[in-house]
Amino acid sequence: MVAEESGPGAQNSPYQLRRKTLLPKRTACPTKNSMEGASTSATENFGHRAKRARVSGKSQDLSAPAEQYLQEKLPDEVVLKIFSYLLEQDLCRAACVCKRFSELANDPILWKRLYMEVFEYTRPMMHPEAGKFYQINPEEYEHPNPWKESFQQLYKGAHVKPGFAEHFYSNPARYKGRENMLYYDTIEDALGGVQEAHFDGLIFVHSGIYTDEWIYIESPITMIGAAPGKVADKVIIENTRDSTFVFMEGSEDAYVGYMTIRFNPDDKSAQHHNAHHCLEITVNCSPIIDHCIIRSTCTVGSAVCVSGQGACPTIKHCNISDCENVGLYITDHAQGIYEDNEISNNALAGIWVKNHGNPIIRRNHIHHGRDVGVFTFDHGMGYFESCNIHRNRIAGFEVKAYANPTVVRCEIHHGQTGGIYVHEKGRGQFIENKIYANNFAGVWITSNSDPTIRGNAIFNGNQGGVYIFGDGRGLIEGNDIYGNALAGIQIRTNSCPIVRHNKIHDGQHGGIYVHEKGQGVIEENEVYSNTLAGVWVTTGSTPVLRRNRIHSGKQVGVYFYDNGHGVLEDNDIYNHMYSGVQIRTGSNPKIRRNKIWGGQNGGILVYNSGLGFIEDNEIFDNAMAGVWIKTDSNPTLRRNKIHDGRDGGICIFNGGRGLLEENDIFRNAQAGVLISTNSHPVLRKNRIFDGFAAGIEITNHATATLEGNQIFNNRFGGLFLASGVNVTMKDNKIMNNQDAIEKAVSRGQCLYKISSYTSYPMHDFYRCHTCNTTDRNAICVNCIKKCHQGHDVEFIRHDRFFCDCGAGTLSNPCTLAGEPTHDTDTLYDSAPPIESNTLQHN
């Protein structure tokens, strides 16, 4: 056909087809290459002198005009049609004829047709190096003809294409030039062909379902699915009796990819067969498993089993899902790299690592498991990085029985129980993970386990952040723990972790909760903005809290109750809605060298039989008393600085006791020490000075023992005792006080002038029956003399009050105080502190 269309008369060809000119029109002699072998007459048709032929002794080629027409003027469409009948080797030979043929013979459409005929892929499968395959989008590929490039990379291989082998070998003329391609009907036959001399171990398994073949791989073969569309869906290899693929020693560097691998026994129960697998990788082999779909319906044995010393596969881009046992099982010192896999909806764990297995597992998506996501146990190890583990029925990650994995930058979330569960002497390092929105605690540690939890964000859990119980240990360090429904960290039942450098904040409950004989060292954390107490210590617990910043809480800073003990030292505790520290119901902590300040209530509240050693603290700038002691409590306060309070220094009420020794109490707005309502403390060697009210006031049937105290430079005076109060005093120095009350009385002033309604100077107060004052009203002696002169008055007692006459709350205006202030009732005691209602939320 070519000869007929390219004869001497072809220059006047009737074909008027469009073609793009690949060579410029000649105005001079054609190039040497285009003329080689051409006749003189052919060149004369261009109007130029013919050059001498280089081959001597031969006549000139009379077919040159036909050759010229074929190479230069035959329309592209016709040439492409001709080339479409050629196979790949002939097409490459045609490309060597001339520049135009080279360009046309490299047309991507020609090569795509050839490529799909041989390999079936609808997108080019690139194979740049051993063990590496990937499909590309031709429109986005940087080279002009990815089909040809892929063809060259995949050319030399065997093809498993059932029914095609007979046709191929029966038509040698049709497939001339494809001697390097081998065709087989079964995978077993193809594996047997690896011994042939020209075969380089590349096997293409074409579309179809291959059942019950005996696939034991013990050489470095490459086996890849070949099919249109999504390749792995079209190439299915399954076994109903034995493990589908078994890799044995000698299969290092083998490759299996782009296929579905199934183990699907007829009887799925455990009674009738041993454990078999989709993939079984044994000692001393390191195959690559790539872009495979792996399914097992067997209840015995994992879908993928990697076991034995030297077992070190690379499994990547695979889907291991919907299996009726474990998805991926790595054991007996096996290793390997497992990257970018989808592991989901397996009946047992998505991944098991056991018995010194030590894999590297990166960027896997492990989710919706019917059991745990990842389970490491019996000395299992492994490095887990950037995995997304979520919505598993049990924990996202479980560590047990001396297992010691490293888990880095993973997301562990939306677990139906907890996020991470470490128990029965488990260990592990969990570093820089995001652990959130789990139904139970983000991290559970129990039964003598000792993991490291460092640099994680643990947040928005439906229960707590970190839960340590049942003799748990662990290092909890540098985490950001926030927004959890229960305590950020909970320590109980003899657990003893180290908790340091964490931020524990904005919880819907408390910050740190230590109870039921919990212990631990809790140091250098920042605990703030939690709904309940920043730290709770209760029921026989004895933690050490050291150098923490505990602040801005919506209730108490640190709360000891129901026999909570422990050490609270060198902490900065400030700006809480309730007291900075509360101690109650038999609790007996050691509180020393803390700063407790800026509270919107009191500094320290000890009540309901609370105890405690409160030593060397600085307590200042609290809205109410620096220290409250009430309701049969009996703490010891030594060497504290209690100053600049917006209320009193120390208030002791309702049967409170305590030993106050060698404290400095100064610059408080109310009394340095107020003792009231049947209380009986011992004050020894304290310095009480520079107060804006009295030094010490004792009222309401209270008593006290005062020994060796120095009381000086207080505004109202040094020591004030209400009617009926008896105290034991020895070696006290009361000196250089400003005595503003005595001076006001002696000048005839209303005491309201020096107190307003915010202070309660102690002096004689009266009632006026003429003015019909109530038990809640008090009138100072100068107002009785001046404003109520001639009235029926009654002396009540010597006690703390402010003058209601001067305050303007009586019917007649005060003639001594000047302008009246707003109405208020006399308060005989300072406002009581708010007791924590934390117990209501337990």
Give the pLDDT confidence of 3-47 residue by residue, as tens digits. Answer: 333 333 334 433 334 334 343 333 333 333 332 333 333 333 333
Position 192 pLDDT exceeds 90: no
Distance of CA 115 to the CA centre of its chain: 47
**pLDDT score for 728:** 97
Instruction: List alpha helices for 527-668, DSSP H.
Output: none
SS (H, E, C) 207-253: CEEEECCCCEECCCCEEEEECCCCHHHHEEEEECCCCCEEECCCCCC
Pairwise CA distance, residues 38 & 699, whole Å: 131
Q: Which of 56-70, 136-150, 265-279 has the lowest mean pLDDT?
A: 56-70
Spacing of C-alpha 496 from chain mean position: 24
Phi, psi of 261 (to 5 degrees): -120, 120
Q: How far is 65 from 61, CA to CA, in rounded Å?
A: 9
Residue 136 lies in a domain: yes
Instruction: Give mean pLDDT, residues 383-400.
Output: 97
Q: Report the distance separating Cα 780 and Cα 802, nearest Å.
A: 8
- Which residues are CB-contacts of 2 (< 8 A; sequence separation ≥ 6)? 70, 82
Does the pLDDT of residue 215 top 70, yes or no? yes
The domain tally of the chain equals 2
Q: Is residue 636 part of a domain?
A: no
Write the CB contacts of 243 (distance below 8 Å, at least 6 apart in sequence). 263, 276, 277, 278, 279, 280
CA angle 459, 446, 461 (to 5 degrees): 15
C-alpha distance from residue 172 to each of 75, 159, 165, 413 (Å): 32, 16, 11, 60
Average pLDDT over residues 539-543: 98
pLDDT reported for residue 5:
37
CB distance 75 to 15 below 8 Å: yes
Q: Is residue 791 part of a domain?
A: yes
Phi, psi of 68 (to 5 degrees): -65, -40
Answer yes or no: are the C-beta atoms of 803 and 826 closer than 8 Å.
no
- Average pLDDT, rounded, for the chain: 88
User: Which class for 251: exposed (0-12), middle (13-18), buried (19 or more C-beta within 10 A)?
Assistant: buried
- The pLDDT score that the predictor gives to residue 69 is 74
CA nearest to 495, candidates 476, 472, 514: 472
With a CB cutoff of 8 Å and minimum separation 6, the contacts of 170 are: none
- Average confidence (pLDDT) over 386-394: 97
Give the pLDDT of residue 816: 87
Place of tokens 């078994």: 246
The DSSP code sequence of 441-507 is -SEEEETT---EEES-EEE--SS-SEEEESS---EEES-EEES-SS-SEEEETT---EEES-EEES-
**Can you give the pLDDT at residue 195?**
57
The two structure tokens encoding residue 56: 């001597």
User: Could you tell me the CA-to-CA distances from 247 to 154, 214, 279, 301, 473 in Å, in that order?
Assistant: 23, 12, 8, 16, 41
C-alpha span between 185 and 171 (Å, rounded):
17
Contact 758, 813 (CB under 8 A): no
Confidence band of 835 (pLDDT split at 50, 70, 90)? low
Q: How is 404-426 classified by DSSP, letter by letter?
A: --EEES-EEE--SS-SEEEESS-
CATH number for the domain harbouring residue 85: 1.20.1280.50
Place of tokens 């011994």: 195
The domain boundary residue, chosen from 123, 155, 187: 155
pLDDT, tens digit (0-9, with 9 covering 90-100), for 106-146? 999 999 999 999 999 999 999 999 999 999 999 989 888 99
Distance, CA of 36 to CA of 54 (rounded, Å) = 8
Type and span of the H or E element at 561: strand 558-561
| Assigned token pair, 439 | 């139904």
Q: Give the integer Cα–Cα distance in Å for 611 and 636.
A: 7
Would you say residue 91 lies in a domain?
A: yes
The reply to whether the predicted model has a pTM over 0.95 is no
Residue-level pLDDT at 775: 77
Q: Is the dihedral of CA 670, 671, 672, 675 positive or negative?
A: negative
Question: Residue 369 has which token pair?
Answer: 């498991």
Q: Which residues contact 526 (CB under 8 A, 6 or more apart)?
A: 502, 503, 504, 505, 548, 549, 550, 551
pLDDT mean over 506-533: 97
pLDDT, residue 268, reads 64
pLDDT at 49 over 50: no
Average of per-residue pLDDT across 183-206: 82
Closest CA to 281 of 314, 311, 303: 311
Residue 58 has pLDDT above 70, yes or no: no
**Per-residue b or e along 446-470, where b marks 16 or more CB atoms closer than 10 Å to that residue's CB:** bbebbbbbbbbbbbbbebbbbbbbb
Residue 439 belongs to some domain of the structure: no
Please check whether residue 381 is in contact with residue 405, taking contact to mean a CB–CB distance below 8 angstroms.
yes
pLDDT of residue 24: 37
Q: How many other C-beta atoms are found inside a 10 Å radius of the C-beta of residue 163?
A: 9
Is 189 domain-assigned?
no
Q: Which residue has the higher pLDDT, 589 or 833?
A: 589
Distance of CA 529 to the CA centre of its chain: 21
Instruction: Return the pLDDT at 73.
Output: 80
Beta carbons of 507 and 482 less than 8 angstroms apart: yes
Which of the two residues, 725 and 760, has the higher pLDDT score? 725
CB-based contacts of 643, cutoff 8 Å, min separation 6: 618, 619, 620, 626, 649, 664, 665, 666, 667, 668
Say how many residues make up the chain: 842
Q: How many CA atoms lie within 13 A of 531 on its CB side?
A: 13
Which single residue is written with the structure tokens 């809640």?
Answer: 776
Please determine, for residue 530, whether its predicted confidence score (pLDDT) is greater than 90.
yes
Lowest-confidence range among 186-195, 666-675, 764-773, 783-792?
186-195
Confidence of residue 617 (pLDDT cuts 50, 70, 90): very high
- Structural domain includes residue 565: no
Q: How many CA within 13 A on the CB side of residue 585?
A: 13
Residue-wise pLDDT for 20-30, tens only, equals 434 333 333 33
Domain end position, chosen among 106, 134, 155: 155
pLDDT on residue 56 = 36
SS3 annotation, 255-294: EEECCEEEECCCCCCCCCCCCCCCEEECCCECCEEECCEE
597: three-class secondary structure by DSSP? strand
Distances in whole angstroms, Cα of residue 408 to Cα of each of 358, 377, 457, 524: 15, 18, 12, 24
99, 123, 155: which is the final residue of a domain?
155
What whole-number distance in Å separates Cα of residue 246 and Cα of residue 244?
A: 7
Phi, psi of 116 (to 5 degrees): -70, -30
Determine the 3-state secondary structure of 347 from DSSP: coil
Q: Which pLDDT score is estimated for 57?
A: 38
832 or 473: which carries more pLDDT confidence? 473
pLDDT of residue 605: 97
Give the pLDDT confidence score for residue 63 in this predicted structure.
Answer: 54
Q: Tell me: the pLDDT tens digits for 713-735?
A: 999 999 999 999 999 999 999 99
Question: What b/e readout covers 31-50, taking b as 16+ CB neighbours within 10 angstroms?
Answer: eeebbeebbbebbeeeeeeb
Q: What is the pLDDT of residues 343-376, one digit of tens each?
A: 999 999 999 999 999 999 999 999 999 999 999 9
Residue 267 — very low, low, confident or very high, per pLDDT cuts 50/70/90?
confident
What pLDDT score was predicted for residue 173?
81
Does residue 783 sit within a domain? yes
Query: Is the predicted pLDDT of residue 270 greater than 60, yes or no?
Result: no
Domain with 773, as residue range(s), is 761-807
CB 415 within 8 A of CB 400: no
Question: For residue 709, is pLDDT > 90?
Answer: yes
Residue keyed to tokens 């490095």 = 383
3-class DSSP assignment, residue 836: coil
